[in-house]
Chains A and B, each alone.
Chain A
Amino acid sequence: MATNSQRAPTPVLVSSYALGFIVFCLIVYILSVAATILIPFVIAVFVWYLINAMARGLGRVKLGDTYLPRFLCFLFAMLVLIGGLWFVYKLISVNAVEVLRAAPVYQKKLMAFVPRILSGLPPEYQVSPSDLGTYLDVGGFIKTFVAAFTGIAGKSLVVLFYTGFLLYEQQFFGRKIQEMLREKAAEARIHKTIKTIEDKIQRYIWVKTFVSAMAGISTWLILMTFKISFAEFWGVMAFILHFIPFAGSIAAVVLPSVVALVQLGDMGDTTQLASLVLCLSAIQVFCTSFLDPRLMGDSLNLSPIVIISAIAAWGVLWGVPGMFLAVPVLSAAVIIMSQFTNTKSIAILMSKTGDIESHGTGKDA
């Protein structure tokens, strides 16, 4: 360390911070300006990644004496993924139409309901209906969310192109990296970084998918037992929303509760409503605070403050798709930064406990 600081005198340090800041600003600017180009590409990278992960998993399956041929693994993985995406898309688009049709009814009932709750409060806390309308726009929220999905589906052709070319070109990636970095040491480090990122992201995706599926199914079951309409729609929504930490969980509790509030509130059944909200909250708390960290281990050592601000920032930049990408991109960025001495301090700052080395070198030692 001492030799390092001798080698790099202060002016260089200042200038590299300034340069880093400029580069960061430019990257953010590009992300916002070129969003229409970059979003399909990033989605394609994710789809490509999922296909690879699934194909790799299938490649380990033994059939009798032989493994499945590589080509069949990829074909099967693609079919599964496309089928799954198609299913989710259909479910959402079919249900969304009905939910949107019903939204004004809910909105009206809700507007009538809220003043009734607030009637016990002193007059200065009363809300006018127009104010309420601007704050509680159920239809508007669902519309933006669904529009984000159908928007992605509309870009599916571009995403398909990118995914196909990524699958085709991945055979050359190793050679290209080798050629780009002529030193052996740098190449080894890059390979290690890629491996670490791959391990962490893969784990993140599997754990998240599993826990989200749990959250979705249990939300669906609870809504079914309470006989709330559109139970399966909210189940799928809970599955998807769980990929957005914090904000998604809150939405997954609040939105079905609003529907339930209107549905059950008419009957004046407050105990049932309260128990439903309690159940939904319990699921989210159990999944996000207990299951997620338990299964994830410390592989995703990110500070909650950083996560929340990253989600907000990506939401501003890219809307709903950005919110889904926030955490995976952030964790990849932290892993990359932790591999270089100049950027290590930033990685430490963004981590939860500051212990970034535990995973980078822990396995090799």
Chain B
Amino acid sequence: MMVKPAPAPAPVSKAHSLALGFIAACLFIYICRIGAAVIMPLVISLFIWYLINAIARFLGLLSTKSGYKLPRVWRFVFAHVIIALVGFLLYKMVSANIDDVMREAPKYGASFDKILAEVAQRLNLDHTPTLHEAFKEVFGNYVDIGQFITVFAGMLTGIAGKTIIILFYVGFMLYEQRWFNRKMKLMITDKERESHVRHVLKVIDSKIQKYIGVKAFVSLLDSFLTFLILTYFKVDFAGFWGVMAFFLHFIPYAGSFVAVTTPCLIAMIQHGDLTVVVMLAATLLTSHAFLGHILDPYLMGNNLNLSPIFIISNLAMWGMLWGVPGMFLAIPILAITTIALSQFESTRPVAVLFSKTGLDHHTRRKRPKPEV
């Protein structure tokens, strides 16, 4: 046996906090699973509350030449009206289209089977696959388009059924937010610590508002563009896919994948003309690439670059926990968690892990700005 130099002192406390953090995270996820019925409406109303605040703040930035600004109350009233209108329109559009989609789905299946049979004949296959088999072959048992649409519709109507709870929550959040500062002051007696906590919370808050605001804006643009493109190519249910594009835009990579492939499939069944499908796919891809990879990072200041691996696995995890609604909430939740974790020294490594390229180089670029 060789005499070895004494090993470095064991980082007991660090390992302990790592273990405790892991346990807490596991329990938190478990609670999200069993408490889905309570927590999901709360999370959705948090998002809506944030959106209202973001819109109100945005309206506050507007002013006429003479310097007139909308009073605070009116800003909030307008924000409410906008959100309510958008929500109502979304609901109407989806519920109106869903019935049509569901009615047409078998017809599409039949004509798609015909195309498949043609392809199979051309390839000299002895077995002609049906649409269902083809989907199974490609996607495994994960995705069944018919089921997906049903679940999505069920989710939207389910959320609509929970509207009252969500409305209550949002109302109380808006009502209570004015006392938030005071409560904070009373909670933390230490003056210095209070200002620090307040600063951190402010940073987190502004980043999250920026994230949600930018995402909502670009998603709206995406939804509108998708609608225009699909109408131009005369694809059925352009309105429905436009609405879907709004939600799918919140999910990077996987969402774009679905938002491009499904309308193309429908166009293929509808027209049976490959050139149209290719042109449609090219246009949709261009618009998605522009919005997702140029406009999004530009507006976001690239301070939120999530790792694709974590995006996909997070989607799978929330899909398992909360079903399809979970998949739509997954990425906003991940983004907000990453923003919050990046603001504390002890949890920053986790945020770095979730990010695509790390966080340092962005802050370094910002450092030259004078700090007050």
* Residues on A facing B (Cβ under 8 Å): 1, 3-4, 7-8, 12, 15-16, 19-20, 22-23, 26, 29-30, 34, 36-37, 41, 154-158, 161-162, 165-166, 168-169, 172, 175-176, 178-181, 185, 340-342, 357, 361, 365
Q: Indicate with 1 or 0, residue by residue over B1-16, a CB within 8 angstroms of chain A CB atoms.
A: 0101011111010011
Q: Which of B1-36 contact A (CB under 8 A)?
A: 2, 4, 6-10, 12, 15-16, 19-20, 22-23, 26
The listed residue (B12, B26, B320, B349) touching A26 by CB distance below 8 A is B26
A169 and B307 contact, CB distance less than 8 A: yes
- Complex CA distance for A176 and B356, rounded to whole angstroms: 8
- Complex CA distance for A157 and B12, rounded to whole angstroms: 42
A179 and B359 contact, CB distance less than 8 A: yes
Instruction: Name the distance in Å between B69's Cβ and chain A's nearest Cβ.
Output: 42
Residue of A with least CB distance to B19: A19
Task: Say if the beta carbon of B139 comes within 8 Å of chain A.
Answer: yes
The listed residue (B10, B22, B307) touching A340 by CB distance below 8 A is B10
Identify the stretch in B50-58, B83-91, B311-319 within 8 Å (CB) of chain A at 4 or more residues.
B311-319
Knowing A26-B23, A41-B313, the reply to whether A165 touches B352 (Cβ < 8 A) is: no
Residue of B with least CB distance to A24: B19
Task: Say if the beta carbon of B147 comes within 8 Å of chain A.
Answer: no
A179 and B360 contact, CB distance less than 8 A: yes
Extra 18 A-B pairs, beta carbons < 8 Å, given A172-B357, A178-B358: A4-B6, A7-B9, A15-B16, A20-B19, A36-B320, A155-B140, A155-B142, A162-B309, A165-B312, A169-B309, A179-B352, A179-B359, A180-B349, A180-B353, A341-B10, A342-B12, A342-B15, A365-B2
A165 and B10 contact, CB distance less than 8 A: no
- Complex CA distance for A119 and B313, rounded to whole angstroms: 58
Q: Sorted from nearest, which 9 A-B pairs have the closest CB atoms?
A: A154-B140, A180-B349, A165-B308, A37-B316, A341-B10, A19-B19, A179-B358, A172-B357, A179-B352
Knowing A19-B16, A342-B12, the reply to whether A158 touches B313 (Cβ < 8 A) is: no
Interface size class of B (residues with CB under 8 A): 35 or more
A4 and B317 contact, CB distance less than 8 A: no
- Complex CA distance for A23 and B23, rounded to whole angstroms: 7
Residue of B with least CB distance to A185: B8
Knowing A37-B316, A158-B140, A168-B308, the reply to whether A22 touches B357 (Cβ < 8 A) is: no
Instruction: Name the distance in Å between B68's Cβ and chain A's nearest Cβ.
Output: 47
Residue of A with least CB distance to B138: A157
B360 and A166 contact, CB distance less than 8 A: no
B10 and A4 contact, CB distance less than 8 A: yes
Residue of A with least CB distance to B14: A186
B22 and A23 contact, CB distance less than 8 A: yes
Chain B positions within 8 Å of A22 at CB level: 19, 23
* CB pairs A–B below 8 angstroms (8 shown): A19-B16, A19-B23, A154-B136, A165-B312, A172-B356, A175-B360, A180-B349, A180-B352
Q: Indicate with 1 or 0, residue by residue over B322-362, a CB within 8 angstroms of chain A CB atoms.
A: 00000000000000000000000000010011011111100
Chain A positions within 8 Å of B177 at CB level: none
Instruction: Name the distance in Å between A154's Cβ and chain B's nearest Cβ.
Output: 4
Chain B positions within 8 Å of A161 at CB level: 254, 312
Residue of A with least CB distance to B312: A161
The listed residue (B12, B23, B357) touching A16 by CB distance below 8 A is B12
- Complex CA distance for A176 and B338, rounded to whole angstroms: 14
- Complex CA distance for A181 and B22, rounded to whole angstroms: 18
- Complex CA distance for A29 and B23, rounded to whole angstroms: 12
Main secondary structure of the interface of B (DSSP, over half): helix
Q: Indicate with 1 or 0, residue by residue over B130-159, a CB within 8 angstroms of chain A CB atoms.
A: 000000111111100000000000000000
- Complex CA distance for A30 and B22, rounded to whole angstroms: 12
B317 and A34 contact, CB distance less than 8 A: yes
Chain B positions within 8 Å of A3 at CB level: 6, 9
A4 and B7 contact, CB distance less than 8 A: yes
Q: Indicate with 1 or 0, residue by residue over B76-116, a CB within 8 angstroms of chain A CB atoms.
A: 00000000000000000000000000000000000000000
Residue of B with least CB distance to A365: B2
Max count, chain A CB within 10 A of own CB: residue among B2, B136, B309, B320: B309
Chain B positions within 8 Å of A19 at CB level: 16, 19-20, 23
Chain A positions within 8 Å of B142 at CB level: 155, 158
Instruction: Name the distance in Å between A13's Cβ and chain B's nearest Cβ.
Output: 9
- Complex CA distance for A180 and B316, rounded to whole angstroms: 25
Residue of B with least CB distance to A7: B9
Chain B positions within 8 Å of A179 at CB level: 349, 352, 358-360
Q: Which of B295-319 contact A (CB under 8 A)?
A: 307-309, 312-313, 316-317
- Complex CA distance for A30 and B23, rounded to whole angstroms: 11
The listed residue (B26, B138, B308) touching A169 by CB distance below 8 A is B308
Chain B positions within 8 Å of A178 at CB level: 358
Knowing A12-B12, A16-B15, A166-B309, the reply to whether A157 touches B139 (Cβ < 8 A) is: yes
- Complex CA distance for A172 and B2, rounded to whole angstroms: 39
Chain B positions within 8 Å of A4 at CB level: 6-7, 9-10
Residue of A with least CB distance to B142: A158
- Complex CA distance for A162 and B20, rounded to whole angstroms: 29
Residue of B with least CB distance to A171: B357
Residue of B with least CB distance to A41: B313
Residue of A with least CB distance to B20: A19
- Complex CA distance for A212 and B254, rounded to whole angstroms: 38
Knowing A22-B19, A157-B138, the reply to whether A165 touches B12 (Cβ < 8 A) is: no
Chain B positions within 8 Å of A156 at CB level: 140
A165 and B309 contact, CB distance less than 8 A: yes
- Complex CA distance for A156 and B137, rounded to whole angstroms: 10
B22 and A26 contact, CB distance less than 8 A: yes
- Complex CA distance for A185 and B142, rounded to whole angstroms: 44
Instruction: Name the distance in Å between B26's Cβ and chain A's nearest Cβ.
Output: 5
A342 and B19 contact, CB distance less than 8 A: no
Residue of A with least CB distance to B360: A179
B19 and A37 contact, CB distance less than 8 A: no
B8 and A341 contact, CB distance less than 8 A: yes
Chain A positions within 8 Å of B360 at CB level: 175, 179
Instruction: Name the distance in Å between B28's Cβ and chain A's nearest Cβ.
Output: 12
A8 and B10 contact, CB distance less than 8 A: yes
Chain B positions within 8 Å of A169 at CB level: 307-309, 356
- Complex CA distance for A41 and B308, rounded to whole angstroms: 13
